[in-house]
Amino acid sequence: MELQGKVVTFIPTASTPESYKEYVKLGQESLEELGLKVTPLDVATASSEEIRSTLSEGDLIYISGGNTFYLLQELKRKGADKLIQAEIEGGKPCIGESAGAVIFAPSIEYIRLMDEPHKAPELASFAALGLIEKYPLPHYRCFPFVEMAETVLATYGGRLSLVPITNHQAIIVRGRELTIVTKE
């Protein structure tokens, strides 16, 4: 896909309850450097119509990292989870960074050992988008998440199909096939 001039719907919602947010700015700048036009969309504050139209009008979707539980809570609260699922199932490319990748799994319960569920007091279920059958484990072997990621792997590795990735890797999903790529 040629990226120059394409519109990316940039969802920074997961960063809202976090104190450190520099990665959001860096992510947005990286997309702009690729020639993409970035349209920010905070699903927590946008109207349902704004969410629907912005997702529909963009050429691709980028879901930034932060608190996975807060992100899922807000996506579900606004119905954006279903809209994003429909856009992806309709062929729209979607990039999930950290928490933004974890929500593609069937459930986010496993990531509670790395994240803070209490920041999403209205989240009634850990059921996520379920767009992939596996469970991304971001920040594997990367400071400051080394011990937490190892704990997730030790706790859930025998029960779930975890896919550990470092901060220099990405999971490419095409249909039901997953490929891990590494930045040189």
From the candidates 30, 118, 139, 161, give the one annotated as an active-site residue.
139
118 included as an active-site residue:
no
Contact between 72 and 119 under an 8 Å Cβ cutoff? The reply is no
Close Cβ partners of 141 (under 8 Å, ≥ 6 residues apart): 149, 164, 166
Alpha-carbon torsion, ordered 61, 173, 184, 60, to 10 deg:
-20
Close Cβ partners of 70 (under 8 Å, ≥ 6 residues apart): 13, 14, 16, 17, 119, 120, 123
153, two tokens: 């792997």
184, two tokens: 């040189």
From the candidates 98, 118, 161, 168, give the one annotated as an active-site residue.
98
139 included as an active-site residue:
yes
**Cβ atoms within 10 A of the Cβ of 156, count?**
17
Residues catalogued as catalytic = 98, 139
